Amino acid sequence: MSDELDAYSRTVSEVARTLTPHVASVSLRRGGGSAVVFTEEGHLLTNAHVVGGSTSGEATYADGEESRFDVIGVDPLSDLAVLRAQSTPAPASMGNADDLVVGQLVVAVGSPLGLAGSVTAGVVSALGRSLPVQQGQAARVIEDVIQTDAALNPGNSGGALADSHGRVVGINTAVAGFGLGLAVPINVTTRRIVDTLMVEGRVRRAYLGVVGTPAPLPDDVAERTGQRAGLRVIEVVQGGPADRAGLRKGDLILTVAREQVRDAQGIQRKLFAEVIGTDLAVTVLRNGAMVDVYARPTELTIG
């Protein structure tokens, strides 16, 4: 047993040694948290809720060095923000949360309660969790959130969740209850959001104006299409793009842009800037028949 504990300790210690220099404690006008250096050009990644309405702040690294930073991009609907500091250590190694499995060792590094370089360890206790977020009247779901039992405390937000190789696979975002924490995954979707924030400072999203819930397909349709579930429309916003396209309450959405949709996140993945003002093909099951409609998404406005 002692050998197992020693191996575990060695792994956690090595991750802490590798990752701690790349994680900063950030102080802003109204509070603070943690952030992770992720580019050679001085960019740090943190949570949007850590930044709030601030435009600048100060980062303190594990070696005591301090640097001013500017907030260059914020996306409340993914709870991510990008900072650019005047000086930073080398960037952390970024991983892919899609490769995680339940039970895998993860290590959280942050500055809870202002203690820079604090390290906790645990396992991935669940994958595929959803975290609802809202700004003004706009709402979405952060998909594929990582749930871990690594202890997270105030100030951990914006810090790194890393795998046993020291690769950052998530940005710690919330305490989900006693002994449980949540992290925004580092994957293809979040990398796209981060890249957009670095260039444009915000993420433009398309808006359809439908509310739906996952629902199974009838057996004959499932057999014909190879698809087991779709998204049942429970509300169509009057005057919105979906309403103008002819989508109706009760429709079962099968595909968007010719790709299968099984839940709300499936539609979310399609609603980025490039589809604003374009004709987006939506296939629905209505009264036993497949119907194609073409919706023209507008830009999602937040307020």
Of 79, 144, 163, 251, the active-site residue reads 79
Query: Using an 8 Å Cβ cutoff, are 142 and 97 in contact?
Result: no
Report CA-CA distances (Å) from 247 to 39, 209, 265: 44, 10, 18
Query: Using an 8 Å Cβ cutoff, are 157 and 173 in contact?
Result: yes
Of 43, 49, 78, 125, the active-site residue reads 49
Question: Please, is 70 exposed, middle or buried when counting C-beta atoms within 10 Å of its C-beta (0-12, 13-18, 19+)?
Answer: middle
* In the block, residue with structure tokens 């979310």: 268
157 is a catalytic site residue: yes
Neighbours of 78 (CB within 10 A): 25
Give the span between the Cα atoms of 135 and 137, in whole angstroms: 6
Give the span between the Cα atoms of 162 and 169, in whole angstroms: 5
Query: Using an 8 Å Cβ cutoff, are 29 and 69 in contact?
Result: no
The 10 Å CB-count burial string (b at 16+, else e) for 164-192 is: eebbbbbbbbbbbeeebbbbbbbbebbee
Give the span between the Cα atoms of 231 and 252, in whole angstroms: 5
Residue 158, by phi and psi: left (phi above 0), alpha (psi -120 to 50) or beta? left
Amino acid letter, residue 268:
Q
CA geometry: angle 106, 112, 114, nearest 5 deg: 145
Known catalytic residues? Answer: 49, 79, 157
